[in-house]
A and B are shown apart, each in its own frame.
Chain A
């Protein structure tokens, strides 16, 4: 697991679970392929982009069973132990924004951090970040609250015309 590099498109636990299911399906395919009769053609299942990218970035050959087992174990370990961050935004984030965010989190917080995205319309701008034990209010409201004296100064200046 220590060696596994997560691509930016792998965001949360749901992606890990999907990868595991896909990997299991691939294992099942190879098992059935070994039991096939001679002369019957079998078509390799189409892999998703997320699994392809994960395998490519980690140098894993999905045709090799040991590699698949290694990846499956790593994914299981990730699913069970990777730190999870719950982030709530005002609206559904775009893939580009999520990629930026995931890259930053994995570069600065933890390389295997998984992110669960939620919606909180009252946030307006910014986000709420929930870690296992804490909630970080990174919303615009909190920022405005912190800069309240400056805001009052601006309003007072506007009212007095200076």
Chain B
């Protein structure tokens, strides 16, 4: 049952009530007009009224009222049932609609949330990759720097060692066998060296003598 049917039923009930009221008023107004009781019309009217009173007596009216009340209650019950059904159906539809809407909204929100998570994850991955790349560059730079420094240090040590090698070996010989080496054993070496410088020594002696 839709709203139009309900309006129609309520309208018919109102019309029936209006007819009862009008009839009651009419019957009451007819009694007042009996100013002249002796006229035939008056008598007829009185007789009619009496018949009416006889037909539509109090019990009958009460019966009619009861029937109307019952009918009205029945109609109200039916309509209430229809209304309840409609309300239940509407509620069910509304629930379905709300569920669907909520589900859709939640799905959209979840999608957005998931997309946000994916974006954040991608941003984090990009950031980590950039950090890793930067660290790798730094590592390579440091490695090159350390290698170059190590190479320079090695070269410095080698150059210094080469420059001071004679002194180092001499110092080593001095520490190792300085106290044990005998001049007699060195005499061949010393005489060989003097032989190599013999001419210079003689010339210097002659120059010193003059």
Is the beta-carbon distance between B202 and A109 smaller than 8 angstroms? yes
Given A90-B178, A132-B207, decide whether A109 and B198 contact each other with a Cβ distance below 8 A.
yes
Is the beta-carbon distance between B170 and A141 smaller than 8 angstroms? yes
**Residues of A participating in the B interface, judged by any CB pair closer than 8 Å:** 81, 83, 85, 89-91, 93-94, 96-97, 100-101, 104-105, 108-110, 113, 121-122, 124-127, 129, 131-134, 136, 138-145, 148, 151-152, 155
Is the beta-carbon distance between A124 and B174 smaller than 8 angstroms? yes
Chain B residues within an 8 Å CB radius of A129 = 194, 197, 201
Other A-B contacts than A136-B193, A151-B165, 18 sampled, CB-CB below 8 A, are: A85-B201, A89-B183, A91-B183, A97-B182, A97-B183, A104-B191, A109-B201, A109-B202, A110-B205, A124-B170, A124-B178, A124-B181, A125-B186, A131-B205, A141-B169, A142-B166, A144-B166, A144-B170
Does B209 touch A at the CB level, under 8 Å? yes
Given A93-B183, A145-B166, decide whether A134 and B194 contact each other with a Cβ distance below 8 A.
no
Task: Mark interface residues in B176-208 (1 if CB within 8 Å of A CB, else 0).
Answer: 001101111011011101110110111011011
Report how many A-B pairs have Cβ atoms within 8 Å: 110
Chain B residues within an 8 Å CB radius of A142 = 166
Chain B residues within an 8 Å CB radius of A138 = 190, 193-194, 197
B interface SS class:
helix
* Total chain B interface residues with beta-carbon distance under 8 A: 33
Chain A residues within an 8 Å CB radius of B202 = 109-110
What are the 3 tightest A-B residue pairs by CB atom distance, in nearest-first order?
A132-B208, A138-B193, A124-B174
Which residue of chain B lies nearest to A152 when distances are taken between CB atoms in the complex?
A: B162
Chain A residues within an 8 Å CB radius of B181 = 90, 124-125
B180 CB, min distance to chain A CBs, angstroms: 10
Chain A residues within an 8 Å CB radius of B209 = 81, 83
Chain A residues within an 8 Å CB radius of B162 = 148, 152
Which residue of chain B lies nearest to A155 when distances are taken between CB atoms in the complex?
A: B165
Which residue of chain A lies nearest to B209 when distances are taken between CB atoms in the complex?
A: A83
Task: Mark interface residues in B94-135 (1 if CB within 8 Å of A CB, else 0).
Answer: 000000000000000000000000000000000000000000
Is the beta-carbon distance between B165 and A126 smaller than 8 angstroms? no
Cross-chain contact of A113 among B167, B170, B205, B207 (Cβ < 8 A): B205
Is the beta-carbon distance between B166 and A141 smaller than 8 angstroms? yes
CA separation between A153 and B198, bound complex, in Å? 30
Does B173 touch A at the CB level, under 8 Å? yes
Chain B residues within an 8 Å CB radius of A104 = 191, 194
Chain A residues within an 8 Å CB radius of B207 = 132-133
CA separation between A44 and B69, bound complex, in Å? 188
